[in-house]
Chain A
């Protein structure tokens, strides 16, 4: 404990750097995955090749990508941020597609019948229903990203990973343990924030969390008259 309190400002700085290096790529991943996922749902033939490409990219070892990028972006934050963004896309993109595909057909048709255009239907109906699945992807992406940043310490840009290389050089276990603990804590906090965001964005899920999405609609008063409308 005494080592940590003596070095509190360094630990805070490294934690902040770790959060920045890990979460900016997740944001990029979301910004890239949303239009990509929407396009792949609209044009179904696009999905298999894009999914294949992202899963191949996901298999590439982080350290190899970091050092390969040194030739282009040097020893800058960008060198770590680009590969982590690629990994984030490979995790978030399939969840965007799954989320949009989870929209029940009757709901989609109801929106069309109410005169919603494609754009309005996407923003006000389909994306809100896809939100829980997309956030599930964001949770996996951000937790893995936070722990992967530390590999960057092998090229000198690694947030809390610095504690690992420095601790190894000095054979100082306390420092290494603090690195592991802070990374896990940062991941847990980020994960809880995302769960909170999901609750705020999808308030209808709280009341009938486990029911079928279609039945959730009746809670919102989505089925006029409640009776069967003849086709």
Chain B
């Protein structure tokens, strides 16, 4: 029997759709973890990236550091945070934020840094104050890259939240980890299918969001990056 068969059989079983261990509550948990981690990461990464990009200093160090950061293993950080905090209920948040901040920061930095200097001169010439230039010109022009960073980070957080079930967090990863532990492949397959669906929804939601809020004149650039 194929993966899809297993997943389908498990998903259509009525008992799996209600109660605290049912699909709706697990899905909600997964979305809550992702949202919380993303709000914190964006609150740290976006201002930092925009400020570094605006002043154009320290960028090289930030980008090099972000590249090394990429090699940090998610599962290792997760388990390390869990063991070091003696199983604190917030332990999962540390690796999720640690992984989400770099793509948000680097893309915001590169987006703002890459804004055409002529554009900024023109805005200043029109009488805009430095803050107006930042918020009305630099950030909107950098928006395609900023959104790309947010999308990359969200996708990574959705994946990592799945793995976080290993340190007894809720969410959709619960089905995969529990199914593996009890040799119930149907549960594993059902959980995996749901996680894949969630990742696809996030991916397409960001494509839609980009189309909605990126100014029309910038859309071609968005597709390139």
Interface residues of A (CB under 8 A from B): 48, 55-56, 58-65, 67-72, 139-140, 143-144, 146-148, 150-151, 153-155, 158, 160-161, 163-165, 167-168, 171, 173, 176-177, 179-180, 183-184, 187-188, 191
Inter-subunit contact B76/A161 (CB<8 Å): yes
Inter-subunit contact A171/B199 (CB<8 Å): no
Whole-angstrom distance between the Cβ of A10 and the nearest chain B Cβ: 17
Interface residues of B (CB under 8 A from A): 1-3, 6, 67-68, 70-77, 79-80, 82-84, 155, 158-159, 162-163, 166-167, 173, 176-177, 179-180, 185, 188-189, 191-193, 195-196, 199-200, 202-203, 223
Could you say which of B71, B79, B180, B189 contacts A188, with CB atoms under 8 Å apart? B71
Inter-subunit contact A71/B79 (CB<8 Å): no
CA distance A19 to B163 in the complex (A): 22
Q: Which 10 A-B pairs have the closest CB atoms?
A: A187-B71, A61-B159, A64-B192, A71-B3, A180-B76, A150-B73, A147-B73, A64-B195, A59-B203, A168-B79
User: Do most interface residues of chain B lie in helix, strand or loop, or is the interface mixed?
Assistant: helix
CA distance A227 to B75 in the complex (A): 60
Inter-subunit contact B163/A143 (CB<8 Å): no
Inter-subunit contact B185/A180 (CB<8 Å): no
Q: Which residues of A contact B189 (CB under 8 A)?
A: 67-68, 71
Q: Which residues of B contact A68 (CB under 8 A)?
A: 3, 189, 192-193, 196
Inter-subunit contact A147/B71 (CB<8 Å): yes
Q: In the complex where A59-B202, A154-B180, A168-B167 touch, is A143 in contact with B71 (Cβ < 8 A)?
A: yes
Could you say which of A61, A65, A71 contacts B2, with CB atoms under 8 Å apart? A71
Inter-subunit contact A155/B180 (CB<8 Å): yes
Which residue of A has the minimal Cβ distance to B159?
A61
Whole-angstrom distance between the Cβ of A3 and the nearest chain B Cβ: 15
Could you say which of A63, A72, A160 contacts B159, with CB atoms under 8 Å apart? A63
Whole-angstrom distance between the Cβ of B190 and the nearest chain A Cβ: 10
Q: Which residues of A contact B80 (CB under 8 A)?
A: 173, 176-177, 180
Q: Which residues of B contact A187 (CB under 8 A)?
A: 68, 70-71
CA distance A59 to B201 in the complex (A): 10
Inter-subunit contact A64/B162 (CB<8 Å): yes
Inter-subunit contact A184/B196 (CB<8 Å): no
Inter-subunit contact B199/A153 (CB<8 Å): no
Inter-subunit contact A59/B163 (CB<8 Å): no
Q: In the complex where A150-B73, A151-B75 touch, is A63 in contact with B173 (Cβ < 8 A)?
A: yes
Inter-subunit contact A61/B196 (CB<8 Å): yes
Q: In the complex where A150-B73, A184-B68 touch, is A59 in contact with B192 (Cβ < 8 A)?
A: no
In the complex, 13 of the A-B residue pairs with CB atoms within 8 angstroms, ordered by the A residue number, are A55-B203, A59-B199, A59-B203, A60-B200, A61-B159, A63-B163, A64-B196, A72-B2, A144-B71, A165-B166, A179-B76, A180-B76, A184-B68
Q: Which residues of A contact B163 (CB under 8 A)?
A: 63, 151, 154
Which residue of A has the minimal Cβ distance to B82?
A168
CA distance A142 to B3 in the complex (A): 28
Whole-angstrom distance between the Cβ of B193 and the nearest chain A Cβ: 8
Inter-subunit contact B196/A164 (CB<8 Å): no
Could you say which of A60, A69, A155, A177 contacts B196, with CB atoms under 8 Å apart? A60
Inter-subunit contact B75/A150 (CB<8 Å): yes
Could you say which of B70, B76, B162 contacts A164, with CB atoms under 8 Å apart? B76
Which residue of B has the minimal Cβ distance to A98?
B224
Which residue of A has the minimal Cβ distance to B154?
A59
Q: Which residues of B contact A148 (CB under 8 A)?
A: 73-74
Inter-subunit contact A180/B180 (CB<8 Å): no
Inter-subunit contact A176/B83 (CB<8 Å): yes
Which residue of A has the minimal Cβ distance to B155?
A59
CA distance A148 to B189 in the complex (A): 20
Could you say which of B70, B84, B155, B191 contacts A144, with CB atoms under 8 Å apart? B70
CA distance A63 to B188 in the complex (A): 10
Known A59-B202, A63-B195, A163-B76; further 16 A-B contacts with Cβ < 8 A? A55-B203, A61-B158, A61-B195, A63-B173, A64-B176, A67-B188, A67-B189, A68-B3, A70-B3, A71-B2, A72-B2, A153-B75, A164-B75, A168-B167, A173-B80, A183-B71
